[in-house]
Amino acid sequence: MSNSSTSDPLKPFKLKTKQQELLIRVSILCLVYILAFITRLFSVLRYESMIHEFDPYFNYRTTLYLTQHGFYDFWNWFDYESWYPLGRIVGGTLYPGLMVTAALIYRLLHFLRFAVHIREVCVLTAPFFASNTTLVAYFFGKEIWDSGGGLVAAILIAVCPGYISRSVAGSYDNEGVAIFALLFTFYLFVKAVNKGSLAWGLASAFGYFYMVSAWGGYVFIINLIPLYVLVLLITGRYSMRLYVAYNCMYILGMLLAMQIRFVGFQHVQSGEHMAAMGVFFLMQVFYFLDWVKHMLSDTKLFQEFLSITVTCAVAAGGIALGVGMASGYISPWTGRFYSLLDPTYAKDHIPIIASVSEHQPTAWSSFMFDFHILLFLFPAGLYFCFKRLSDATIFIVMYGLTSMYFAGVMVRLILVATPAVCLISAIAVSATVKNLTVLLRSKNKVAQIGSTKGTSSAKSSSKASLDQSQPFQKNGAMALLFGAFYLLSRYATHCTWVTSEAYSSPSIVLAARGAHGNRVIFDDYREAYFWLRQNTPPDAKVMSWWDYGYQITAMGNRTVIVDNNTWNNTHIATVGRAMSSYEDEAYEIIRSLDVDYVLVVFGGVTGYSSDDINK
What is the contact surface with another protein in residues (CB under 8 A)?
A: 47-48, 50, 521, 523, 526-527, 529-531, 533-535, 555
Write down the least CB distance from residue 90 to another protein, Å. 21
Of 499, 501, 508, residue with least CA distance to 608? 508
Residue with smaller CB distance to another protein, 25 or 526: 526
Write down the least CB distance from residue 595 to another protein, Å. 17
Q: Is 267 exposed, middle or buried (0-12, 13-18, 19+ CB in 10 A)?
A: buried
Write down the least CB distance from residue 188 to another protein, Å. 39
Residue with smaller CB distance to another protein, 179 or 554: 554
Write down the least CB distance from residue 514 to another protein, Å. 13
Instruction: Give the DSSP per-residue string, 526-595.
Output: HHHHHHHHHHS-TT-EEE--GGGHHHIIIII--EES--TT---HHHHHHHHHHHHS-HHHHHHHHHHTT-
Number of neighbours of residue 507 by Cβ within 10 angstroms: 10
Contact 37, 128 (CB under 8 A): yes
Write down the least CB distance from residue 158 to another protein, Å. 29
Residue with smaller CB distance to another protein, 120 or 290: 120
- Taking the mean position of all CA atoms in its chain, how far away is CA 374? 17
Residue with smaller CB distance to another protein, 47 or 200: 47
Write down the least CB distance from residue 533 to another protein, Å. 7
Write down the least CB distance from residue 47 to another protein, Å. 8
Write down the least CB distance from residue 530 to another protein, Å. 5
Residue with smaller CB distance to another protein, 287 or 530: 530
Write down the least CB distance from residue 442 to another protein, Å. 59
Write down the least CB distance from residue 68 to another protein, Å. 14
CA distances from 386 to 91, 154, 605 (A): 46, 22, 58
Count of alpha carbons within 13 Å of 291, Cβ hemisphere only?
Answer: 8
Q: Could you give the angle at the alpha carbon of 502 between the alpha carbons of 216 and 43, nearest 5°?
A: 85
Q: Omega into 85 within 30° of 0, i.e. cis?
A: yes
Rounded CA gap, 143 and 148, in Å? 11
Write down the least CB distance from residue 592 to another protein, Å. 23
Write down the least CB distance from residue 509 to another protein, Å. 8
Residue with smaller CB distance to another protein, 266 or 551: 551
Residue with smaller CB distance to another protein, 73 or 527: 527
Residue with smaller CB distance to another protein, 57 or 243: 57
Residue with smaller CB distance to another protein, 291 or 531: 531
Residue with smaller CB distance to another protein, 247 or 536: 536
Q: Is 92 exposed, middle or buried (0-12, 13-18, 19+ CB in 10 A)?
A: middle
Rounded CA gap, 406 and 219, in Å? 13
CA distances from 209 to 101, 312, 527 (A): 13, 33, 41
Residues 6+ apart with CB under 8 A from 349: 335
Residue with smaller CB distance to another protein, 471 or 604: 604
The terminus-to-terminus CA distance of the chain in angstroms comes to 73
Number of neighbours of residue 130 by Cβ within 10 angstroms: 28
Rounded CA gap, 111 and 576, in Å? 48
Rounded CA gap, 497 and 501, in Å? 6
Residue with smaller CB distance to another protein, 121 or 263: 121
Write down the least CB distance from residue 543 to another protein, Å. 17
Rounded CA gap, 377 and 158, in Å? 17
Residue with smaller CB distance to another protein, 391 or 611: 611
Of 422, 429, 430, residue with least CA distance to 403? 422
Number of neighbours of residue 525 by Cβ within 10 angstroms: 18
